Amino acid sequence: MAEVFTPSWICNKQNNLVDNAWFGRESIFNTEVDNPDGTHSWIVSTEPIIFPEGKTWRDYVNENRLEITCGEAPYLVSRYDTVTGEPIPVERRIGLLDRKLRVVSENTETTGEWLKAAQSAYQSIYGFEWQGDNLILAREALLYTFLDYYRAKFGKDPQLKSLQYIAYIISWNIWQMDGLKGVIPNSCIKLPKIKNESLSLFNPEDLGEPQEQTLFECPGCKNKDIHTHTGKYAIIKDWKENKILTFVSLIKQK
């Protein structure tokens, strides 16, 4: 539930580690710069991205990525620096989705090809957040990112139906969840149980003596077991299998 604003240069460093592992080499999208005065930046690699043997640009676009407790989703998209508020040009963006969309733009020509690949990129990007206001900002950032890259590639706006489908994907893939419990925040309830269950000739309520109840804590909260909460479990969509599942179903039980 904490508010943490991660600078873009830190997001870039960590995202680079992910790509270094996937590509098997360093400095794929940019080269990090750590200045003597303590500031940080990066130099963009302007040449088209070259993929390692046995992997294609489509493999990269389809690779699943998740930002946990995503806040405004600075690791996924970087329209602005979350600390300074300064906008970042499309060609300098460093988010995981930004990188996928750059690859899409470098390897497609027509709007149809671009849209199909961009939809796959969005379907492979996930993020969850506890706070609803941050969730709105994250979803908004991903939606505007689609517009930014489409305009940069084709010099015009996409059709409304294309924008609406991306919004539909975002509504599934960027969702609200308590990451420690796997449920909608604050949805766990205490279970009531009547303490005195002995039979009586009289109705206690008629006598002005309501039956005493004991509220039992949610077993998942009590035992810190993510699989036994009474709350509403968050659901996501598996786009490849075209099915709905709970997020916790992806976590193995002990």
Q: Tell me the C-alpha distance between 90 and 86, whole Å.
A: 13
CB of 158 within 8 A of CB of 115? yes
Q: How many residues appear in the chain? A: 254
* DSSP secondary structure, 123-138, as one string: HTEEEEESSHHHHHHH
Residue ranges of E strands in 134-201? 174-176, 191-194
Residue 211 in domain: no
Q: What is the pLDDT of residue 189?
A: 83
Q: Tell me the C-alpha distance between 60 and 76, whole Å.
A: 15
- For 218, phi and psi rounded to 5 degrees? -50, 125
pLDDT tens sequence for the chain (254 residues): 666 788 999 999 999 999 999 999 999 999 999 999 999 999 999 999 999 999 999 999 999 999 999 999 999 999 998 888 899 999 999 999 999 999 999 999 999 999 999 999 999 999 999 999 999 999 999 999 999 999 999 999 999 999 999 999 999 999 999 999 999 999 998 777 655 444 455 555 555 555 556 677 899 999 999 999 999 999 999 999 999 999 999 998 76
Among residues 78, 73, 96, the alpha carbon closest in space to that of 88 is found at 78
Reading the block at residue 55, the tokens are: 């992997």
Reading the block at residue 201, the tokens are: 């000739």
Q: Which residue has the tokens 């300064």?
A: 86
Residue 100 in domain: yes
Q: CA-CA distances (angstroms) from residue 221 to 175, 187, 217, 231?
A: 21, 11, 7, 10
Residue 190 in domain: no
Q: Report the amino acid identity of residue 184.
A: I
Residue 147 in domain: yes
Residue 91 in domain: yes
Residue 143 in domain: yes
Residue 245 in domain: no
Q: What is the pLDDT of residue 216?
A: 79
Q: Tell me the C-alpha distance between 190 and 106, whole Å.
A: 53
Q: Which residue has the tokens 């963009």?
A: 44
- Domain containing residue 164: 8-176
Q: Report the amino acid identity of residue 32.
A: E
Q: Tell me the C-alpha distance between 77 and 9, whole Å.
A: 13
Q: What is the pLDDT of residue 199?
A: 47
Residue 189 in domain: no
Residue ranges of E strands in the chain? 30-34, 40-44, 65-67, 125-129, 174-176, 191-194, 213-216, 235-238, 243-246
Q: What is the pLDDT of residue 252?
A: 84
Q: CA-CA distances (angstroms) from residue 211 to 194, 204, 218?
A: 7, 6, 22
CB of 95 within 8 A of CB of 71? no
Q: What is the pLDDT of residue 208?
A: 55
Total count of domains within the chain: 1
Q: What is the pLDDT of residue 194?
A: 52
